[in-house]
Amino acid sequence: MQRLEGKYALITGGSSGIGLETARQFLAEGARVAITGRSESGLAEAGEALGGGVLLLRCDAGRLDEQRALPARLREHGWSRLDAVYLNAGDVTHLPLEAWTEADYDRVMATNLKGPFFLLQALLPLLANPSSVILCGSVGARIGVPASSVYAASKAGLLSLVRTLSAEWLGRGIRVNGLSPGPTQTPAFGKLGMPQSEAPALLEQIRKLVPLGRLGRPEELAKAAVFLASDESSFMLGSELLVDGGVGNL
């Protein structure tokens, strides 16, 4: 039997990188999958890559109106419940402290923390008993990487929600856990927001942080997400699963 057979699963930021690979793995495990993304063209490409059978929803993770509208859009497509939610969408902007503007700060926090918070609020009536919610953290919330201040703070806040919402929703049968990647080879590395001339040096610095000596692969994170979404992780609650090549522990 497939591990996610019959489950309805929502993945935000599912049109590329870890989110796209997670959608592929969820489908292979028998789930009905919906993915969100900001770009219509990116979603279309993801739909082709996944071979159809996935619900594509254009949605900006940093726009509260679009987050609040998402449950109704799912219901329009006949989705009356959610068994698994993976909030993976994120803004990975890295800048030195003196380069941040208020607009940049607000955008990152809206996408990485405020948007997910209010999306969970909106999705609550759809979450089944039992169900699994996975919040995408980052090992960056545990360590001090230069230029990561706002990004790391937003992920630390999201990982705090893992614990507080686990306690708040305990009686509802909703398990909330965090999945924190280490440096992973995805298109996100092209969206750090810094000058192109500075990016290679930062990437090399990040790679050297990894005790295993390499970047992670999207499929390694996706398989961890399958575990957290499935009944195999039924005794995990309020936890953070690090899939980071040892960065956070060694």
Is 250 a domain residue?
no
Task: Write out the residue range of the structural domain in which residue 227 sits.
Answer: 8-243
Is 3 a domain residue?
no
| Euclidean distance between CA atoms 76 and 195, whole angstroms | 43
Q: What is the pLDDT of residues 79-116, one digit of tens each?
A: 999 999 999 999 999 999 999 999 999 999 999 999 99
Per-residue confidence (pLDDT) for residue 24, from 0 to 100 = 98
Q: Please state the φ and ψ torsions of residue 203, each to the nearest 5 degrees.
A: -65, -40
Handedness of CA 110, 116, 117, 123 (dihedral sign): positive
Is 2 a domain residue?
no
Per-residue confidence (pLDDT) for residue 189, from 0 to 100 = 63
pTM for the structure as a whole? 0.95
Is 72 a domain residue?
yes
Query: The domain spanning residue 177 has which CATH number?
Result: 3.40.50.720
Counted domains in the chain: 1
Is 142 a domain residue?
yes
Strand 127-136 and strand 174-181: the pairing is parallel
Q: What is the pLDDT of residues 207-234, one digit of tens each?
A: 888 999 999 999 999 999 999 999 999 9
Catalytic residue among 8, 86, 105, 151: 151
Q: What is the pLDDT of residues 66-76, one digit of tens each?
A: 999 999 999 99
Per-residue confidence (pLDDT) for residue 187, from 0 to 100 = 77
Active site residue 86: no
Q: Is the separation of the CB atoms in 150 and 100 below 8 Å?
A: yes
Quickly count: other Cβ atoms within 10 Å of residue 21's Cβ: 22
Is 121 a domain residue?
yes
Tell me the mean pLDDT in the region 29-33.
98
